[in-house]
Amino acid sequence: MRVLVTGGAGFIGHHLVRRLLADGNEVRVLDNMATGRRDRLDDLDVELVEGDLRSYERVHTAVRGVEIVFHLGALPSVPRSIQDPLTSSAVNVEGTLNVLLASRDESVRRVVFASSSSVYGANPALPKTEEDLPLPLSPYAVSKLAAEQYCRSFHVAYGLETVALRLFNVFGPGQDPSSQYAAVVPRFIDALRRDEPPTIYGDGEQSRDFTYVEDVVDGFVRAGHAEGAAGLVLNLAAGGRMSINELVRIISARLGTVVEPHFAPAREGDVRHSQGSGRAAARVLSWETTWSIEDGLARCIDLFADGKQTFSAAVHAS
């Protein structure tokens, strides 16, 4: 089967590309390399289309002839969206609309969209379920919620099968800490392995539902085929919750370092606590997580220690 992965040179995207190839699919990637890395695809037998999601013509070229589109391309980061909400909206909303239009025009069977747990925002309910009211706190979260609604409307109006997956703090090998927008796990590992204090925004007691990338990739693959999933929004969440302070303690213990973190002011748009329920995904996709956060962190740290995973300050974060 021929599939397209937008954002396939990004962190989650390149893991998904590898899984799809291993499953015997022909894979095309659309990426403009703004937050992706070309070297992630160097050893893979993929067709690369370089282009921007904001160009319908380029998106249409990438979509032509595929059966399933996995739409992971986006401009990530809550802080980035607060600094530049116009670009976040253009890429994440208009870009998704281009993907949906091209998919409709090319009779694509299904579009699986990478949404975000940030759409829940200020809603205090824990764990978050798909029935909870979204209360986004940042332009990034708003852009993901708007893209979700476009997916739903295209399913209703045009019969295009769409599935939106809300992701919760995905981590794993291949994340890059070199950008100011990098995720906490690679930033903390990178700092602590160099005996430098990691920066924690706020008091560190905010908590997150960390989900290992291989589990998330499995959810995407299942969402591409599952009967009864079309038109739905589903959480891909491990279902646990860990504070940022505890995350630092676990990484420090694994590395054998004793470095006190640096605390900085809390960032605008960050939610206090995030924890998702994966029950709907378990029911609809027969999906369940197989990696605990402790095992996933150990895997990441061990790869760095073995020299099989390196960080580079010269590349973009995804």
**Residue of 38, 77, 42 lying closest to 315 (CA atoms):** 38
Phi-psi region of 195 (alpha: psi -120 to 50; beta: other; left: phi over 0): left
Active-site annotation holder among 140, 150, 181, 212: 140
Q: Which amino acid is at 200?
A: I
Residue 201 bears catalytic tag: no
Q: How far, in Å, CA of 293 to CA of 246, rounded?
A: 11
**Helix, strand, or coil here: 158?**
helix
Peptide bond just before 79 cis, omega within 30 deg: no
What lies within 8 Å, CB to CB, of 207 at 6+ separation is 241, 242, 243, 244, 272, 273, 274, 275
CB 254 within 8 A of CB 297: yes
Q: How far, in Å, CA of 272 to CA of 135, rounded?
A: 13
Q: How far, in Å, CA of 102 to CA of 297, rounded?
A: 39
**Residues marked as catalytic:** 140
